[in-house]
Structure 1
Amino acid sequence: MSASSAVRDLQQRITEMQVPQLGDRSVPTRAELASLLPGGALMRGCSYSVHGSLALALALIAGASASGMWCGAVGFPDLGLEAAAALGIALERFVLVPRPGERTLGAVATLSEVLSVVLTRTSAPVRQADADRVTARLRERGAVLICVGDWPHPTSTLRVTDSRWQGLGTGRGILAQHTLTVQTMDRRGPSTRIISFDGGKPSAPRERILEALR
């Protein structure tokens, strides 16, 4: 089966199975993460850059996945599906392209035709022309891109500056809580927030604004 035929087949399957969505620009996003994003949610046709935490990037997808949307990841050969499921990703609606090689951006553009949210990573600077082509596809299809690493002119950049684990007992307890300090930069200006993950999922009570760095 050719690549184009495979995409058409996947698109037909997703169209048949995906929960219909209203014409809102926003994509369902976990309420606990809303303060990290301008508008309080991921927005269709937009790109987001996440630095320092794959868990945070996956958690951003979880709301869309839980709502019935199809999501995918390109370029993560070591992605732990069990950990992704613990963060709220519905694996039955999750497409994984672990080793796209030099065709990462091509795979991202192709998947954005059929998926609601696509996760990828960058190991080298992305040329503006290539980013523009992907962005045009995102806007045309109403998809969202989350990039672990740099992406030209993202809607928002989320940078984890501190990561701490806590558990029962020093050195031998269960690591039950993961706390991240996240610096965000978007049209609202820079700010710093704390997000805590309990049992794999973000928890609202431990989220608080540290300071506005305006």
Structure 2
Amino acid sequence: MFEDSRVVGSLEARTLGALDTARTPKRSAADRAAVLAELRAELAARPTTAGVAGRAVPTLPALPAFVDLLPDRGLRRGASYTVEGSTMLGLGLVAGASRAGSWCGLVGMPTLGAEAATGLGVDLSRLALVPSPGRQWLGVVAALIDVLDVVVIRPPTPAYDAEARRLAARVRERGAVLVVQGSDWSGSELRLSITSSTWHGLGSGHGHLTSREVTVEATGRGTGGRRRTSRLWLPDQAGGISPALTASPVSPVTTDAATVDTPDGDVIPFSERRLERVS
């Protein structure tokens, strides 16, 4: 597991300071104008895609394998997404933004395999981990949304609809992206799920699992009522994610979508694939 205590400590200090308005010094008019100009310049530099009626929609980049699944061809700032079941799918969804330089946070994933996350494209040098947020996880996520571009959460407890709406409002206000792992989420823009899965790499009763071909389905209000599907290697033989353009020559092992990852939904790093060896 990756956890840079200095980075996390600095992040927590900045976050708590930002939330505690009572201790925030008053800014002069000139200071406020300078900050506003800086924020406007940052907003203008963000990549965008064409939105409804030609309006620009600020987005964060996604890996090429996910472009056809996302209506905006990237992660729309201010939106919430739901990923059903697979942790690998959730990490892959945010890997493009992480690789492009965005700061990301992972909350509620104490057994995450850092090596597997790196293989999928997540930059660990810009990753904040809160493995066990406890009962106050909503407050933790809200604080991270204030300072990070993308926050991925596996809720340890259900959230009331009112709580989900308040958090969604904060995501929109800050222009962040929220990805909710393995849980129904009120107001989600898009839901991604694996509908079929085929492992490759086993020979005649021996060998290693080397790659997995999956069908990913995207549904929700963001698709305008139309289902989007795509075939992906998740992971491919290099441990990354890529479009499944051609069939694999090795023997497949078809699995149920619910048994693709470990029982608690986390990823097994490729260095530990020996645990999946069939002799």
> Is the 1:112–1:141 contact (alpha carbons within 8 Å) kept by the matching residues of 2?
yes
Secondary structure at the aligned position of 1:65 is classed as helix
Give the root-mean-square deviation of aligned CA atoms.
Answer: 2.5
Structural mapping, 1:114-193, within 5 Å: 114-148=147-181, 149-187=183-221, 188=223, 189-193=226-230
> Is the 1:47–1:156 contact (alpha carbons within 8 Å) kept by the matching residues of 2?
yes
Point out where structure 2 has 5 or more consecutive residues left out of the alignment: 1-8, 19-41, 49-57, 247-279
Secondary structure at the aligned position of 1:7 is classed as helix
Distance in 2, matches of 1:61 and 1:141, equals 17
Identity of aligned residues (%): 42
Secondary structure at the aligned position of 1:40 is classed as coil
Q: Which has the higher strand share?
A: 1
Distance in 1, matches of 2:210 and 2:72, equals 30
Distance in 1, matches of 2:96 and 2:129, equals 18
Point out where structure 1 has 5 or more consecutive residues left out of the alignment: 11-19, 208-214
Counterpart position of 2:145: 112
Deviates more, 1:52-61 or 1:186-195: 186-195
Scaled by the length of structure 1, the TM-score of the pair is 0.83
Secondary structure at the aligned position of 1:152 is classed as coil
Counterpart position of 2:34: none
What letter corresponds to residue 175 of structure 1 in structure 2? L
Secondary structure at the aligned position of 1:115 is classed as coil
Larger C-alpha radius of gyration, 1 or 2?
Answer: 2
> Is the 1:74–1:96 contact (alpha carbons within 8 Å) kept by the matching residues of 2?
yes
Post-superposition offset of 1:202: 1.4
Post-superposition offset of 1:123: 4.8
State the number of aligned residues: 199
Post-superposition offset of 1:201: 1.5
> Is the 2:105–2:152 contact (alpha carbons within 8 Å) kept by the matching residues of 1?
yes
Distance in 2, matches of 1:166 and 1:83, equals 18
Q: Rate the CA distance shift 1:35–1:170 in 2: closer, same or farther, 3 A.
A: farther
Q: 1:81 aligns with which of 111, 114, 120?
A: 114
> Is the 1:71–1:95 contact (alpha carbons within 8 Å) kept by the matching residues of 2?
yes
Where has structure 1 moved over 4 Å in runs of 4 or more?
1-4
Secondary structure at the aligned position of 2:179 is classed as strand
